[in-house]
Amino acid sequence: MFNQRAPLDLAFQALSDPTRRAMVDRLSRGPASVSELAQPLAMSLPAVVQHVQVLEASGLVRSRKVGRVRTCHLEPAALRTVEAWITSRRRSWERTKDLLDALGAELRHQRASAAGS
């Protein structure tokens, strides 16, 4: 199911869960094993593994198994893609708002001039 959805769909979906955001937050401070990710969480290890799998399917996290330990790390490119999408819309809105404000000021100025003439 996951692979049929767009990368942004999967990344935003992955980040919509507080447990997965806590994992991304932890991994932003350095790689961690699945057990280390599980430690602060009040849930079973299989539930933790399932969250890690959602993060991996979204591309936000990669993991590598060495011996019996699976270590996870953030994938900054995926994080940057999500960030760029948001930043672009926020900037677009700010440009729009500046234009609307300028237009509003111009209209008020014209009305005041017309009233005064």
Q: In the complex, which residues of this chain contact its own copies (CB under 8 A)?
A: 6, 8-10, 12-13, 15-18, 21, 24-25, 27-30, 74, 76, 79-80, 82-83, 85-90, 92-94, 96-97, 100
Q: Residue 70: what are its φ and ψ, rounded to 5°?
A: -100, 120
Closest to its own copies by CB, 45 vs 107, is 107
Closest to its own copies by CB, 5 vs 108, is 5
Q: How far is the CB of 72 from its own copies (least distance, A)?
A: 12
Q: How far is the CB of 61 from its own copies (least distance, A)?
A: 11
Closest to its own copies by CB, 17 vs 35, is 17
Q: Which DSSP helix (H) or strand (E) runs through 64?
A: strand 61-66
Closest to its own copies by CB, 104 vs 112, is 104
Q: How far is the CB of 38 from its own copies (least distance, A)?
A: 19
At residue 45's C-alpha, the angle toward residues 71 and 64, to 5°, is 15
Beta-bridge partners for 45: none
Q: Which residues of 67-99 are buried (b: 16+ CB within 10 A; e: fewer)?
A: eeeeebebbeebbeebeeeeeeeeeeeeeeeee
